[in-house]
A and B are shown apart, each in its own frame.
Chain A
Amino acid sequence: MSTFIQTVIVGLRLGSVYALIALGYTMVYGIIRLINFAHGDFIMVGGYTIIFTVPLVLALGLPAWAAVLAAVAVCALVGMGTEIIAYRPVRKKGTNMSALITAIAMSLFLENLAQAIPAIGPNPKVADQIFTAGGFKIGSVTFEYTTVITIVISAVIMIVLYMFTQKTRLGRAMRCVSEDKSAATLMGINVNHTIILTFAIGSALAAVAALMYMAQYPRIYTTLGSDLGIKAFVSAVLGGIGIIPGAVLGGFVVGLFESFTTSYISSSLADAVVFLILIVVLLLKPAGIMGKNVGEKV
């Protein structure tokens, strides 16, 4: 029984990281109908920023996790830059396919740029301890502080984000643009600003996800983004891409599936199982768990 509970907890922890990343995918997809392949690499950017700023932050006498503020800023800038430099010109001229290929190209670019920078290089780097080590026990189940903090912070962020999109003016503007760009323009919404804002928020979430991930697995490497990103993307599709609560749900489902496969079947099959879920869902209900099927207009 304690193994079962432990597995659930690990699943929730993984799931909350996936959910944070999936939110970025889903928000961008909702607004410009593009799978932002580079989103996974924003996590990597965030991770390296944290690694490089942690000593600085400690020297200032702040706790290590404060480095996430720098990561959030850097990631938001990278996200906005990607949109302005690459996605916007392609969106103006090309088709959906060329936008998708641009996204893949940007992902390759960020990954390989990181490797080409001498301070980063292709070898994994080890991060410092971010949260306090240790934990507490309830019965025979150990709760690590890191795990608890990860789950709680993720939950808070998700609720705040949901309130933001539902209640604030900017959030409403985002939802309008994702529904109908031209109508949104007529209502006086600056579509380009809204898209950039979406990229900034999505990338900032990726930075937070990087912190959570590194708190648990303090090893970071340049292709981390594609490994994590793909699973998060699966979560986003699973829940129904473009739908914010869907991404959260999908994240937790993928996290739980992964942790159960790892502890009950085989850790090397975990990835295959995640994709198997994706394929089953896409075939049975292509719009995702919470999505609605939309017919094609001629």
Chain B
Amino acid sequence: MKNNKTARSYLVNTLVIAAAFILFQVLTGLFGSEGDFKLVLVPSLWQCCYLILLAASLNLVLGFLGQLSLGHCGFMAIGAYTAALISLACERAGVFTDKAGLVYILIIFGCIIAAGLLAAVTGLLVGIPALRLKGDYLAIITLGFGMIIVNVINNLPFCGQDGLSQGSAAASLYKTGLGFGSKAKVTYLWIALVVTILCLTLMFMFVRSKYGRAIRAIKDDEIAASASGINVSSYKVLTFTYSAFFAGVAGALYACANSSLSTSSFAFTNAGILNSTFVVVMVVLGGMGSLTGSIVAAVIMFFVNYQIANGSWVAALPPFLNGVFKYPMLVYAVVLVIVIIFRPRGIFGTYEFSLTRLPEDVKKARARRAAAKAERKEAVSHG
């Protein structure tokens, strides 16, 4: 009976996703060359895709495993540089010339997978020593590893300026075989969407498997978990590696969406939207232990950031508010503290959105609200 239900929910989800995807392809066909669609919506979707992957993958470690990692963007940097350099090597070797065709698509996918794998290997190497520690120490050591990764990339001649040992070692890489322009972004948007959906599915499956249950047990009580036969350290390293893989994939998507890479954009903090702290903010606001929450938070925060950076209404604000909105992190920091105080597990908590369970959830929420109302009424009538 239960199996039947699971099968049905998989079927429903697959159908809905497929329908949405086809709808999107049709839309792309219709509006692909139009200004706003090409210049605003599609680049935004690319950014949303890698932010979603980044937030969701960190949530595996932060929300489900309950360990704070502050170097998540380091893995993303590895993914981004791997993808950019492999594609560049292919281009210089003459495997493809005009950034189109079947070979190019295969190379893109190859780059994405290689980026994920290399990030995962790094995650494994970092995780084995780092996860011996926990809590504050783990936070710091991951912060340290994140900085070391960035620092090493800065000093590798391989990753400097023109890439593959051309030009000197530097913080920025200007040549990549990916780096889509706005037209290519429209053409290859389906790659970003497919990759994101696939990765999210893999993460959902992980969380709902026996591994997911094990890591949630570890989060709740490490000692009790190990007493019930869960190998705590290997599960921790596994989750960390798995999460690093998706961060690497997010990095590859980033490399696709940006024409040049700079290590400062993967730092612990910086002025932009992409840094390890910001990812933590997304995960915490969305809900530690809710992939749905991470997705929603990533999209909303991207939108808010975009509005703050480009919205005409910001310029119309009085000058003193202008300063506040120029630094959206200021607002997020306040929101973060408020959320932590009033909803310590984030806005979505551990709630997961599900199409098949949606009617039930709505019913339950209504019942809860009604009960709360009745209680209030009773309290009033009792004086």
Contact = CB atoms under 8 A, between A and B. Distances in A.
Interface stretch (B36-44, B147-155, B304-312): B147-155
B140 A113 contact: no
Contacts of A89: 341
B344 A93 contact: yes
Interface residues of B, number: 46
B92 interface: no
A93 B339 CA distance: 12
Nearest to B138: A282
Interface string B122-155: 0000000110110111011101110110011011
Given A93-B344, A101-B336, 19 more contacts: A34-B136, A35-B136, A90-B341, A94-B340, A100-B68, A100-B136, A101-B280, A105-B336, A108-B277, A108-B332, A109-B334, A234-B140, A268-B154, A269-B151, A269-B155, A271-B147, A272-B148, A278-B141, A286-B137
Contacts of B327: 112-113, 115-116
Given A230-B143, A233-B140, A101 B68 contact: yes
**Residue from A108, A113, A272 having most chain B Cβ neighbours under 10 A:** A108
B18 interface: no
Nearest to B129: A283
Given A97-B66, A101-B340, A272 B147 contact: yes
Contacts of A271: 147, 151
Contacts of A275: 144-145, 147-148
A122 B272 CA distance: 13
Q: Which 6 A-B pairs have the closest CB atoms?
A: A109-B333, A112-B330, A275-B144, A272-B151, A105-B336, A108-B333
Interface in B35-81: 66, 68, 70
Interface string B236-271: 000000000000000000000000000000001101
Nearest to A115: B327
Contact of A279 (B145, B277, B332, B336): B145
Contacts of B133: 282, 286
Interface in B308-360: 319, 323-324, 326-327, 329-330, 332-334, 336-337, 340-341, 344
A33 B134 CA distance: 13
B332 A102 contact: no
A254 B340 CA distance: 34
Given A101-B336, A112-B327, A268-B151, A122 B271 contact: yes
Interface of A: 29, 33-35, 86, 89-90, 93-98, 100-102, 104-106, 108-109, 111-113, 115-118, 122, 223, 226, 230, 233-234, 237, 266, 268-269, 271-272, 275-276, 278-279, 282-283, 286, 296, 298
A223 B329 CA distance: 13
Given A116-B324, A278-B140, A106 B333 contact: yes
A29 B140 CA distance: 14
> Secondary structure at chain B's binding surface: helix, strand, loop or mixed?
helix
A109 B341 contact: no
Interface of B: 66, 68, 70, 129-130, 132-133, 135-137, 139-141, 143-145, 147-148, 151-152, 154-155, 223, 268-269, 271, 277, 280-281, 284, 288, 319, 323-324, 326-327, 329-330, 332-334, 336-337, 340-341, 344
A282 B137 contact: yes
A112 B277 CA distance: 13
A266 B324 CA distance: 39
Nearest to A266: B155
Given A94-B344, A105-B333, A298-B223, A100 B139 contact: yes
A21 to B, nearest CB: 15
Contacts of B340: 90, 94, 98, 101-102, 105
B135 A106 contact: no
A97 B144 CA distance: 18
A226 B268 contact: yes
B280 A116 contact: no
**Residue from B152, B284, B324, B327 having most chain A Cβ neighbours under 10 A:** B327
Given A268-B155, A271-B151, A286-B133, A118 B323 contact: yes
Contacts of A33: 136
Contacts of B152: 272
A85 to B, nearest CB: 8
A286 B136 CA distance: 11
Contacts of A282: 133, 137, 140-141
Contacts of A29: 136
B132 A283 contact: yes
Contacts of A233: 140
A34 B136 CA distance: 8
B330 A35 contact: no
10 contacts: A90-B337, A90-B340, A96-B135, A97-B288, A98-B340, A105-B334, A105-B340, A108-B277, A118-B323, A279-B144
B280 to A, nearest CB: 7
A94 B281 CA distance: 17
Contacts of A230: 143, 147, 268
Nearest to A277: B144
Given A268-B151, A271-B147, A95 B344 contact: yes
Contacts of A112: 327, 329-330, 333
